[in-house]
Amino acid sequence: MKLIRNAKALILGQLKEVDVLFDETIRRIVPRGTEISGIDEPVEIIDASGKTLLPGLVDVHVHLREPGHAHKETIKTGTKAAAAGGFTTIFAMPNVLPFPSTPEVMKNYQARIENDSLVHTYPYGTITINESGKEIVDYAAMKKLGIEWFSDDGVGVADDEVMKKAMISAKENDVLFACHTEDMKYRRPQASVHESAFAKEHGWIGIPSACEYAQLARDLDLVREIGSRYHACHISAKESVELIAQAKMHGCDVSGEVTAHHLLLEAEDVQGTNWKMNPPLRSHEDRMALIEGLEQGKLDFIASDHAPHTAAEKERPMDQAPFGIVSLETSFVLLYTEFVHKQKRWSLAQLVDWMSATPARRFGLDGIGEIRIGMNADLFLADLDNEYTIHAQQFESMGKNTPFDGMKVHAAICQTFINGQSVWKGNEE
C-alpha cells in the first residue's frame, strides 16, 4: 500500500490538492494532509511535494524490435523507456521476427512480453501473414489469445481484394485494424523526406502526400462498404485529416492518431537522418492541419511511433538510413512544453486525455486513463516546473536517434507506477 502526499493530482480535468492511497487500484482520494485510518497493512508514504500526479499514458504505436532486431531495442529496454516517459500501457507493433501471424508464434511472443515487460504491453497481430500482403491471418484464432488488434505497420496492404477480404473477416470477428497506409507507386526508390522545394535544394528525393492519403481513401471506402473498425496510424497530411473527418461524418467507426514529431516539426526543419521518419515531416500547412484536426476531433489522439535504430544505421547517407526516431521518453515533455507551457494552447487535462483515456477507450481498455477510486493504479509523477535539456545519451532506450537532442523542455517525469508498484524513478536533482 502506498500513499502519495503533497502532490497535485489531475482529477476530473482539474488539479486538486489531494493525497492518493493505492495498492493495485486506487483506494482513497482525500484532501491533502487528511489522516488515513482503518488500514491494516503497512503504508509507504511518498512525499511528492512540487510534483503532479497523472494517470499513466497509453501509446498504441511502439516498435520494441525484439524478437529479431534486439540490437536496436529489447522488450526490457523499450518498456523501461516507456516507463521513463510516463507510459504505463503500450501496444507493440508486429514487424518483428518471426512475425506474430499465427497463434503458435503469438503465444511465444506473449510469453516473452510477460517475462520482460515493465509496463502493460499488448502485442498486435499482423493483418496478413508475415506482412506479405497476400494471405490474411486467422483473426478468430488470434482473438482466442486475447489479440483484438491487427496491423501490417511499416507497409500498406497493396492488393485491393486482399484488403477487402481482410476487412470482411475483421468485421465478422469484431477486431480493429490499425493501418499504415502507403501506396508505393507514389514513392520513388531512395525517397527519404517530404516532396518539396526544400528537398530538391538538398538533393533529397521526396515522398508526396498522396503516398499516404491515396491508400487511406481506398481503405475508408472499404470501411463504408463493410462496416469494419479502422484506425489510421501516424497521420501526416492535411488531405488525410479531411478523409478521416468525412468518414466520421458518414458514421464510420474510424479513428486517427498523430505523433508528437508531426505536431512539432515540419519539412524545412530536417537537418539529417534523425529527422527522417515515415511518413515524413511535411509542410507547415500540413502540420497546422494536424494540430487543428486534433483540436477539432477530426483526429483522435497522440501516439509516439517509437522507432529505435542503431547509431551506425543512422550514420548512413540520407537515402540509405532507416526511417524512424525514438520518442517514448520525449513525447509528453515536448508536447507539454510547447502547447501547454509556452503557447497555452492546450490544457494539461486535454493533453493527458489525448495521451491516456482516449486511446484506452478506442482500444477497449478498461480501468485506466483517470485518477479515481477503483481505477488501476497506473500512474506517474511529473515535475512540471523542471526546466532541463534533453540528452539522448541518457535515454533508457537503446536507440538515441532523435531530432530533439539538446532541446530544452519544461517538464520532467519523476516516477512511474504499474499496478501500484514503482517501476521507474528518475534521478532527483
Q: Are 369 and 354 in contact (CB under 8 A)?
A: no
Q: How far is the C-alpha of 202 from the C-alpha of 344, rounded, in Å?
A: 35
Contact 149, 91 (CB under 8 A): yes
Catalytic residue among 305, 353, 378, 383: 305
Alpha-carbon dihedral 411, 415, 419, 423, rounded to 10 degrees:
130
- Sign of the CA dihedral with 130 first, then 132, 134, and 136 last: positive
Residue 212: strand, helix, or coil:
helix
Cell readout for 118 is: 515493465
Peptide bond into 279 cis (omega under 30): yes
User: Residue written as cell 487543428?
Assistant: 292
Catalytic (active site) residue 405: no
- CA geometry: angle 19, 23, 29, nearest 5 deg: 25
What is the C-alpha to C-alpha distance for residues 46 and 4, in angstroms, rounded to an integer?
Answer: 5
**Residue 285: C-alpha distances to residues 194, 196, 266, 275 (Å):** 13, 13, 9, 18
Distances (CA, A) of 426 to 54, 55, 198, 312, 394: 16, 17, 40, 28, 11
Task: Report, as residue numbers or ranges, the catalytic residues.
Answer: 305
